């Protein structure tokens, strides 16, 4: 290991600092990257009627956000074409929620639609 220490020292890097950085990075990997939101209940999405049309309402951590009619239609069209990633993108653009929450919400919509159609 002394060869590695000598290499770091020749590069102007203290072996102690290198060890701390490596320990920090390993900690992030073990923890899962330090998610932006503590794990709680998954995000949900509901499809309801409003003003003669359908609207998607997404609830994350008890806070609800409603998509406009055109945003709702974009999500539903993507799901109708089995384009889950496109639906997640449209939902994120319309609500500003994170990737995991948008994925959970889209899967919630898919389950609801399967129940209604099944």
Q: DSSP letters along 10-54, please?
A: HTT--HHHHHHHHHHHHHHHHHTS--SS---SPPEEEEEEETTEE
How many Cα atoms sit within 13 Å of 64 on the Cβ side? 7
Handedness of CA 87, 89, 93, 96 (dihedral sign): positive
Give residue 17's pLDDT.
Answer: 76
Give residue 91's pLDDT.
Answer: 92
Give residue 53's pLDDT.
Answer: 61
Give residue 106's pLDDT.
Answer: 92
Per the listing, tokens 């129940």 go with 115
**DSSP three-state, residue 56:** strand
Give residue 54's pLDDT.
Answer: 78
**Which helix (H) or strand (E) element contains residue 66?**
strand 63-66
Per-residue pLDDT of the chain (118 residues; tens, 9 = 90+): 567 777 777 878 777 777 777 787 777 777 655 455 556 677 777 767 554 567 888 888 888 888 888 999 999 999 999 999 999 999 999 899 999 999 999 998 888 776 666 5
Find how far residue 110's CA is from the centre of its chain: 17
What size, in residues, is the chain? 118
């Amino acid at each position: 290991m002394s060869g590695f220490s000598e290499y770091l020292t020749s590069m102007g890097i203290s072996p102690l600092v290198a060890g701390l950085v490596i320990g920090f990075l390993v900690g992030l990997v073990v923890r899962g990257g330090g998610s932006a939101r503590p794990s709680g209940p998954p995000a949900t999405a509901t499809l309801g009627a409003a003003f003669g049309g359908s609207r998607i309402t997404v609830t994350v951590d008890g806070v609800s956000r409603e998509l406009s009619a055109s945003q709702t239609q974009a999500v539903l069209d993507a799901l109708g074409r089995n384009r889950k990633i496109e639906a997640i993108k449209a939902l994120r653009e319309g609500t500003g929620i994170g990737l995991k929450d948008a994925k959970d919400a889209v899967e919630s919509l898919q389950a609801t639609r399967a129940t209604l159609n099944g």
